[in-house]
Chain A
Amino acid sequence: MTQLIDIENVTADPGRLVEEGRVDKSLYSDPAIFAQELERIFNSTWVWVAHESEVAEAGAYKTAFVGRQPVIVSRDRKKNIHVLLNRCRHRGATVCEGKRGKTRAFTCPYHGWGYSLDGELRAIPKPEEYEGVIDKQELPLERLRHDSYQGMIFATFNEEAEPLEAFLGGAKKWIDLFMKQSGGYPLQVLGDHRFRFPGNWKIQLENTTDAYHFPIVHKSFISSLDDQTSEVFDFLDGEGFVEDLGNGHSVMVMIPELVDLEANLDDPIPERFAELAEALRAEGHDEAEVRRLVRAVGGTGFNLNLFPNVACSMAFFRVLTPISVDETEIHHVAIGGAGAPAPFNQTRMRLHEHFQGPMGFGTPDDAEGWERVQKGSLAGPDGWILVNRGLKRMAPSADGNPAGAVCSETGMRAAYQMWKRLMSDEAGE
């Protein structure tokens, strides 16, 4: 008889739940595992919180989450960035509920304690009762360690975590390539689509490097494209690959000719961007500029998955926030060029609307698949999720990393090996 999993000991031995080519289905539905993930993954490693363009000016802020903990990303008057816990030091109320905006201070709505953009406690109404009781200097909003790479801001609760650049490691090269898609202008967040699905966060994490689902789940999207573009998206039998970049990160290259958007600028302009090229020419941009923007507008030919919560996915950032063991919030963050010609950013937003978000032609079908995984994973007392596709056909990449075919499950295996490492007792100690 199949051995039932011993729930009491599950969290003590994640090695039993994650093997090389399969993971136990309880990883999607066990609240004890979820609680441990919050502690050992989201509270212990680098988590993406913002792009610098979202807090571009002095006084700008954005609210975000590290795991389930609310934080504020702010830029102070000296233009320094801070990541602050969104919790008043008095009685614990959040001090900021806006999505993003500009402010001079964060004021708690409950008793009026006021904090500056760097988190310092500046104002306490009727302070005399605190004489000899508290010192304002000792009660700033708590600050998280943070660092940026290519404008992507990550934060961590873990003072011992390795430096951000070491954590990103092999992914840095791909982040550099991803940032070329703003067409020579500084990359700028243009807005986001937010939605939730009733399923575990790792189901979404897996999806970003899952080419295998694309022609099945996104058939209706492919049908809506012109012939030339649908050929570009027919990449399952192409020269693409998935590469394990270490630390749970992976890249899935679907369209190799769109890896470097600053190369091949003399290629013919694709049919679907002919109108954009004309609009740019009509605005007086020279042919070199037109070609650079047209080449960049559709995004890169790869999805880069950064463990645990963000992906640089073709033409947007895909951010996940775990809500509960069986609910996840996802933001599809649209990006463009700051100061780029309007037709360029407009085309990027229209492409984003076409596939992404709750009303896109792609996302609702993804979410339907993910919901089915969550529901189906409850069937039976025991069972495995297979992530072994391409396991025996791996070969080293050009950079010497383990790599498999574009429709292999290499990226999922990379993520689960990192999961196992962080969830093991050694990492938790």
Chain B
Amino acid sequence: MADSMFQQAIDFINREADLLDHKAYADWLGLWERDGTYVVPVDIHATDFANTLNFAYDDHAMREMRVARLKNGESVSSEAQEGTVRSLSRFCLLDEDEASIRLRCAMFLSEVRLAKPLLYPANVEYRLTKTAEGLRLHTKVVRLINAGHHLNTVAFIF
């Protein structure tokens, strides 16, 4: 029996996480719809991202530039970044229609900084579109639980 759409979406999101942890950024860009949006809000309750200050609010062009910066060897912080490990769980189906499916999950992401592991817990929301070629990433909103306080600088993609 074919997996349910919900299970397919979970598989898609886990694959996206694996690509990011392994810095396979070109493949990650390939998961996106061109008109998709990647957001890391400062205010974890924000919904009007265009009219709010975010940590990241990336359209296709900004995503491409962000990836170029992480890969092209010109950014000292990106070069120093040793890697991330993220774990996704507590998947929850928010809604689904013919065109798309929306999910939310918990993310625990750890990176090593100055020889110490740092933890970034977040609620992450996804909207995936259903296409003839399979699911595509349309919206990803990373709500870090400590976004309202100070962060360390980030040289990876949540």
Contact = CB atoms under 8 A, between A and B. Distances in A.
A194 interface: yes
A140 to B, nearest CB: 29
A220 B75 contact: yes
A307 interface: no
Given A197-B153, A220-B72, A345 B51 contact: yes
A361 to B, nearest CB: 6
Interface in A200-226: 217, 219-221, 223-224
Contacts of B154: 358-359, 364
Interface string B72-92: 101111101000000000000
B30 interface: no
Contacts of B42: 191-193
Contacts of A364: 75, 77-78, 153-155
Contact of B57 (A197, A329, A353): A353
Contacts of B53: 190-193, 334, 349, 352-353
A64 B77 CA distance: 29
Contacts of A363: 153
Nearest to A363: B153
Interface residues of A, number: 37
A176 B68 CA distance: 38
Nearest to A361: B69
A142 interface: no
A324 to B, nearest CB: 14
Contacts of A361: 65-66, 69, 75
A217 B80 CA distance: 13
Contacts of B22: none
A366 to B, nearest CB: 8
B146 to A, nearest CB: 10
B65 to A, nearest CB: 4
B76 A191 contact: no
Contacts of A369: 76
A359 B40 contact: yes
B81 to A, nearest CB: 9
Mostly, the A contact residues are helix
A190 B152 CA distance: 21
A354 interface: yes
Contact of A223 (B50, B69, B149): B69
A223 B78 CA distance: 15
Nearest to A334: B53
A289 interface: no
A349 B66 CA distance: 17
A68 B43 CA distance: 25
A346 B52 CA distance: 8
A357 interface: yes
Interface string A348-378: 0110111001110101110111010000000
A216 to B, nearest CB: 9
Nearest to B41: A191
Interface in A288-322: none
A371 B114 contact: yes
B93 interface: no
Interface string B53-70: 111110000100110110
Interface in B1-59: 40, 42-43, 50-57
Nearest to B53: A191
Closest CB pairs A-B (n = 6): A191-B53, A364-B153, A220-B75, A364-B77, A220-B74, A368-B77
25 contacts: A193-B53, A195-B150, A196-B151, A196-B152, A220-B68, A220-B75, A220-B78, A223-B72, A224-B69, A334-B53, A342-B51, A349-B52, A349-B53, A357-B55, A358-B151, A359-B40, A359-B154, A363-B153, A364-B154, A364-B155, A365-B76, A368-B76, A368-B77, A368-B80, A368-B153
